[in-house]
A and B are shown apart, each in its own frame.
Chain A
């Protein structure tokens, strides 16, 4: 196993709602949403980890906490063994970068592509003033954009092209880890394919380490070698993609995988038990999935399962009935 770049222990990010003065005086607790609630995991060099889950699972929040947009509420986050928080040194900032979901909101409409790249290249002194134009051209060709893009403004580009610009921006800082937060979800199928191919190519050519966050399980299957499944703020299963897909252990993972519509002819939608996502609460009793779980037992109501390995492999599951 290659070295650990980023590791999280007991990481939590809670959002606290605003509270009126009256309710504060009455001693009431403000509404807390534990978007990420005690997460342990590691990213090793060269890996591509796919982070999946449905709405409210916390994957986006986790990504943003890792990248430093949010301060963690609790737990430890370390980069190359050194603890980091939201306040980071310039070098730490450069190490973890993000590609965003919305191609129309991720670029400053009033800055040309060239200016945008130059600003960060020069600020971090990554190249000299003489060499900066050349570097910009290199970045553009890395992501498959023409040189003319340098003088153009975001509104002149299509969604797919804007995502490429966003990738160029992230790569300009030469990060150790690239976090893609639903980076292809807003794109058409054929455009999505070209961006996925681009990311796979970059991963191979530049030796990138990636955390790919998506609700699209088919894309995750295509791109990632490790998969992490989240539900209501916790990791419920993690392991090598092929293994988890071939032999999912957690009841939620099974539900998730069987719910995805498939392209193979004659496919039939799996049996999906009815049930909605339970409301987010500040504290959960027992396992979070028990309300929808087909195999839940009494003790699931009180026991909060830990993420444990199966048979000593890298496949880990948080369900007491599996172990």
Chain B
């Protein structure tokens, strides 16, 4: 029943297409994403502007494409740091146990209780709006999930006989963790990271909508929704399509995530 993995490839197709569009943005559209043209604001979709223009005459399609760059790249970066940090801490904590583990788990519990948006807003006021504060906020809160996932997986793995065998063969702990434990636990973190990227993008878009994300006039889906919401009755596509993009990204990533689960559990 090979059709079970078509969804996986569909997910890959979706995300690669989006990534391609994002990377090759300048070659795909000649418009300037922040270039205003007050002579032709709120234009309907036409041959020149496939998705029309917004209230400042900027080409909507171009802004969507450049928005993909921002949202996708920040989304991935914002997950990369928590992934690495959380995995490393979870690995050590699960393996060693003891005081390190106890203290770390209390920190984890505290961090989970912390409201993310409050932290994000505070950081924006301290560090200033923009990609840096978003990534920082997400990282400070996001590492926790990876830490727990990896720690739980390590607690199970270290009781397995092949890990015992590795210990018995005298291999040093670093080698055991690196070659025997990590490759067998990391798949769970990878699967989780797929949905985490979606959550991060949602966070970025939400912050953008609140005006706390990437500052305007940079094209970003969240701020596009916020700016365009006033025009929702006539030029409904201006605020809606950025939202649809987020859904598509989420869909693609979750297909990949599900597909990975199936492949890794074979």
Contact = CB atoms under 8 A, between A and B. Distances in A.
Interface in A128-171: 166, 169
B62 to A, nearest CB: 45
Interface in A86-116: 88, 90, 93-94, 97-98, 100-102, 105-111
Contact of A105 (B162, B171, B175, B180): B162
A249 B183 CA distance: 52
B182 to A, nearest CB: 9
A169 B170 CA distance: 13
Given A110-B183, A119-B179, A68 B168 contact: yes
A105 B160 CA distance: 6
A173 interface: yes
Nearest to A106: B161
A67 interface: yes
B165 A106 contact: yes
A121 B167 CA distance: 14
B85 to A, nearest CB: 23
Given A93-B170, A120-B171, A100 B165 contact: yes
Contacts of B180: 108, 111
Contacts, number: 57
B210 to A, nearest CB: 44
B171 A98 contact: no
B262 interface: no
A104 to B, nearest CB: 9
A90 B165 contact: no
Interface string A200-217: 000000000000000000
A90 B175 CA distance: 15
Interface residues of B, number: 16
Interface string B148-192: 000000000000111011111111000100011001100000000
A93 B180 CA distance: 18
Identify the interface centre among A94, A98, A107, A110: most chain B CB within 10 Å of its CB: A110
A97 B160 CA distance: 16
Interface residues of A, number: 26
Contacts of B184: 108-110
A91 B63 CA distance: 66
Identify the interface centre among B164, B165, B168, B171: most chain A CB within 10 Å of its CB: B168
A101 B162 CA distance: 11
B165 A123 contact: no
A119 B160 contact: no
B164 A94 contact: no
Nearest to B184: A110
A111 B175 CA distance: 13
A69 B162 contact: no
Nearest to B180: A108
A94 B161 contact: no
A94 B169 CA distance: 7
A98 B162 CA distance: 11
A102 B168 contact: no
Contact of A120 (B160, B164, B169): B169
Interface of A: 67-69, 88, 90, 93-94, 97-98, 100-102, 105-111, 119-120, 123-124, 166, 169, 173
Interface of B: 160-162, 164-171, 175, 179-180, 183-184
Given A106-B162, A109-B184, A110-B184, 16 more contacts: A67-B168, A69-B164, A98-B165, A100-B161, A100-B165, A105-B161, A105-B162, A106-B165, A107-B162, A108-B179, A111-B183, A120-B169, A123-B170, A124-B169, A124-B170, A169-B165
